[in-house]
Structure 1
Amino acid sequence: MTSLADRLYLAFDPGITPKGGGLPGLSVLKSVVSSINMFGIIAVVGALAVSLAVWAWGHHTGGHQAEANGKKGATVAAGAALGLGAANGIVAFFSALGSQVQ
């Protein structure tokens, strides 16, 4: 019995694969994207600190709405940090996964 991967064929394969260094300025673009990612991570750290402070302030003062907003902000900031940190690995994983189809 053949597996699904053995029976899966593309209707038309244009033969195009990603190539590093094909365009001028690629190193600059990589540097810009890396810097944007770093700024995003720094912003998330600040957002997490503020959200945790709001959560603690709301808890100790009895402000249930502030406490809930702090929890929500902390959760969103943690998710954003996870996404920013894992973005490169996620793209690399799915990029390699697509090249395994014959």
Structure 2
Amino acid sequence: MLHEIISAAVPVLVPLNIDVTPNDDGLPGIAALRSIVGAVMTIALILSVLALLISAVVWGFGANSSNPTLASRGKIGVLISCAAAVITGAAVTLIQFFWNVGQTVS
């Protein structure tokens, strides 16, 4: 009985249809921020190439000096630098993919 009285007295709140999308000109400096992110991605790719070269040299020294620890660290460095380059290059696509996935959640 009490539940029916409370249900009748309290209005039902219906969620509104909220539509929010990214806004390119909502804040000043968005173009500068986009330029900064692009520059950071370029630096990350250059550092990935540098890490790849250093890791390959370490791998070569380890293999030629019969040092398995050094060769192993060089191999791991090559894999990590390649993974860093892949993630850096695919960052925009990954974010766009997960943004689209998030938009389908209801």
Shorter-chain TM-score tier: 0.7 to 0.9
Check 1:13–1:79 CA distance in 2 against 1; reply closer, same or farther (3 A cut).
farther
1:99 to 84, 93, 103: 103
Give the secondary-structure state (helix, strand or coil) at the position aligned to 1:22: coil
Larger mean CA deviation between 79-88 and 91-100 belongs to 91-100
Deviation at residue 86 of structure 1 after TM alignment: 0.4
One-letter amino acid of the structure 1 residue matched with residue 66 of structure 2: G
Greater RCO (CA < 8 Å, at least 6 residues apart) = 1
CA deviation map 1:26-56 (0-9, x unaligned):
0000000100110011001000000011101
1:88 to 81, 86, 92: 92
Deviation at residue 101 of structure 1 after TM alignment: 3.5
Q: Structure 1-normalised TM-score?
A: 0.82
Paired residues, what number? Answer: 92
Point out where structure 2 has 5 or more consecutive residues left out of the alignment: 1-14
Partner of 1:61: 65
Partner of 2:41: 37
Partner of 1:6: none
- Pairing of 1:6-85 with structure 2 (within 5 A): 14-85=18-89
Deviation at residue 63 of structure 1 after TM alignment: 1.0
Check 1:101–1:66 CA distance in 2 against 1; reply closer, same or farther (3 A cut).
same
4+ residue segments displaced more than 4 Å = none
CA deviation map 1:45-102 (0-9, x unaligned):
0000000111011101101111011011111111111110100000011112222345
C-alpha distance in structure 1 between counterparts of 2:17 and 2:51, whole Å: 45
CA radius of gyration, larger in: 2
Q: Structure 2-normalised TM-score?
A: 0.79
Deviation at residue 15 of structure 1 after TM alignment: 2.8
Check 1:63–1:13 CA distance in 2 against 1; reply closer, same or farther (3 A cut).
farther
